[in-house]
Chains A and B, each alone.
Chain A
Amino acid sequence: MNRLMEKVDNLIDNSALKLEKHKMTIPINIVGSILFIIVSSILLYLVPSQIKINTEAVVNARTFPLLMLRIVLIFSIILLIKDIIFIITKREIETKELNLLVEVKFLIILSMLIIFLALLYFTNFILSSIVFGILMLFYFRSKKLSNYLIIILAAILIGYLFQNVLHVRLP
């Protein structure tokens, strides 16, 4: 069993090392502003279908969300233009290095959270929490048996606390 664990550990370490080498530098203001331009444009396009009004009044249910979306759009464009000017004038722009290993880890954690949510549709809170807790301990590569016992106990306690002390109905 120990040998198998060691093999798995080595495999994970080697894969992590390979992934860690893949790095990419991105201009965060440019990418971020483009993202907000896309999101705000889509939402602005959806306003007439999502906010129905039956009034001719100047101030209505659309006024405020429209104003906010326009602010997001206009300031995102300003941010984008500012950084483009910086690039043209050869001034430094804000960048960030993205590491493939970090993003893979993010996806793994997100997948575990989605699994936790999916489990809640089929089983109860305590059981789902125990499965999720054990998955997380695997992720952190915890080898202490006491940690697994603590997580099981914590899941039972939290479930009990919400249901019997706070009288909250859990899945």
Chain B
Amino acid sequence: MDLFLQGSSLLFNIPNFLYMNLGLLLGVVFGAIPGLTVILCIVLFLPFTYSLGAIESFMFLLGIYCAGSYGGSISAILIKTPGTPHAAATMLDGYPLTKKGHSMKALHVALNSSTYGGIFSAVVLLFFAPQVAKFAQMMGTPEYFLICAFGLTIIAGVSGNNLIKGIITGAFGLFISTIGIDAMSGGTRFIFNNINLYSGIALVISLIGLFALSEVLAKSEKQEKKEKVNTDLLKKEDGKLTKEEKKIIKRPMILSGMIGVIIGIIPGTGASMASFFSYDRARRMSKTPEDFGNGSIEGISACETANNAVTGATLIPLLTMGIPGDGSVAIMLGALMINGLTPGPNLFVENGPIMYAIMIGLIFVNLFMFIQGKLLTKWFAKIISVPVALLTPIIVMFCFAGAFSVNASLFDIGVTLIFAVIAYIVNKFGFSTIPILLGLVLGALTEENFRRSLVLSDGSWSIFVSSPICIVFLLFIIITVFLIVKSQLKLNKKGEKSEQN
């Protein structure tokens, strides 16, 4: 209770709420515009958090993360183009409602459901995270190394369509994280006598290259033609839900909230899985399943509740053990580190009040998302049509200014360009860049715990099976690998069968 009160007093400051609302605004805009992503938004604005405190930074980034989830539904509903991948399920019923002239109703259902999902998961986070953290505190260096390995295995397995490719890029990311001065011995590694590489490659610089500039380079491939939003339709209706409609969406909301939280806690699963799974469940339980796909408000409600319920749940493994559930959260992990907070089991012991402030703050993030959504939906709808020709150079300007701001060095901008080219090439060959990101974020932590463990055991690898927790995590890794390989084999077989047919 003490920590709760201390956290509350840290949170209730005007700057925290200002940055929260700024993040929300940016998140909706980036989520709503097809071609822009939540990860891109977080990466672009990460340099802005340098001058902020830990709570302000996190409120700002959480605002982007949560609102991006809702923003994706706006374009899915209005122009049949999901702004984020997890809004794809929302499109199935959102766009048919727009065609029937009820776009405001669809947007309101999405907003209400997103808010409910977000608040539900924030409450679950508030009650569950401290309990998980207590368990996590029993871990030593070998256990913590295995947790990092577990997180990397999951992300490597689910980020692309091939586990081997994920392992290759994940290990490559871990290797890149070793460039610079070795914190344990003081020697240099792979700096090629370049003074700019002494302190290694800053996370933000690599992220801007991997996820922002690479998107610009990918514009050579994508030809996005956007539909225009019919704003007259938005003006005509108020979109208010009737009592009957509110009753109808209650059941899918409650169920999808729980589904979203359960799926969100499992690292690597993500919001897309939660929204499609919830959509399917809601259809099966509905009294009018025939409406699904033709503008069912139950369908929209199920997807939107689920994908926002994931947001708080993904923070449970992140804040308690340092395992990020997806790419966006992995970047937020980096933001924690920039603020001097080392992710892992000790985070709650060393920074309890800050953790509570963040968790309580998540509830307010969702409340303000609701208020902004209510007031600004019509304006948000208009920005979807902003042309790519205008957005692309503006993104690059932010990228270059952001990269330069880290060390006031033009060399860093060159490094971001190299990372962008790396991302373009590896994506071309079907490798995902998310494991590289995770390798970069978890690199220092993984190496430190790996080396400390081996020093403790005098070089013997048996230390990684020395405790029951180690064995449990090793089993988790083995089971995860088995499940991923099994599902990939199944997919391959399905593909071969459909080819034959």
- A-to-B contact residues, CB < 8 Å: 28-29, 31-33, 35-36, 40, 43, 46, 50-53, 55, 57-61, 63-65, 68-69, 71-72, 75-76, 78-79, 82, 91-92, 94, 96, 98, 102-103, 105-106, 108-110, 113-114, 116-117, 120-121, 125, 129, 132-133, 136-137, 140, 142, 147, 150-151, 154-155, 158-159, 162, 166-171
Known A61-B189, A65-B189; judge A71-B171 contact (CB<8 A).
yes
Determine if B401 and A136 form an interchain contact, defined as CB atoms under 8 angstroms apart: no
Task: Known pairs A64-B178, A65-B189; list 12 more (Cβ under 8 Å).
Answer: A61-B182, A64-B450, A65-B178, A72-B172, A106-B424, A109-B220, A110-B421, A113-B216, A133-B394, A140-B392, A142-B387, A166-B51
Number of CB contacts from chain A to chain B under 8 A: 193
Known A63-B451, A69-B175, A158-B398; judge A28-B429 contact (CB<8 A).
yes
B interface, over-half SS: helix
* Chain A contacts for B390, CB-based, 8 A: 142, 147, 150-151
A40 to B174 CA separation, bound complex (whole angstroms): 13
* Chain A contacts for B388, CB-based, 8 A: 140
Q: Which of B164-203 contact A (CB under 8 A)?
A: 164-165, 167-168, 171-172, 174-175, 178, 182, 184-185, 187-192
B 312-347 binary contact with A (CB < 8 Å = 1; else 0)? 000000000000000000000000000000000000
B426 at the interface (CB under 8 A from A): yes
* Chain A contacts for B496, CB-based, 8 A: 91-92
Determine if A105 and B220 form an interchain contact, defined as CB atoms under 8 angstroms apart: yes
Determine if B396 and A110 form an interchain contact, defined as CB atoms under 8 angstroms apart: no
Known A61-B185, A116-B400, A132-B393; judge A106-B220 contact (CB<8 A).
yes
* Chain B contacts for A171, CB-based, 8 A: 404, 410
B447 at the interface (CB under 8 A from A): yes
- B-to-A contact residues, CB < 8 Å: 47-48, 51, 162, 164-165, 167-168, 171-172, 174-175, 178, 182, 184-185, 187-192, 213, 216-217, 219-221, 387-390, 392-394, 396-398, 400-401, 404-405, 408, 410, 413-414, 417, 420-421, 424-426, 428-431, 447, 450-451, 454-455, 458-459, 495-496, 499
A57 to B420 CA separation, bound complex (whole angstroms): 38
* Chain B contacts for A151, CB-based, 8 A: 390, 393-394
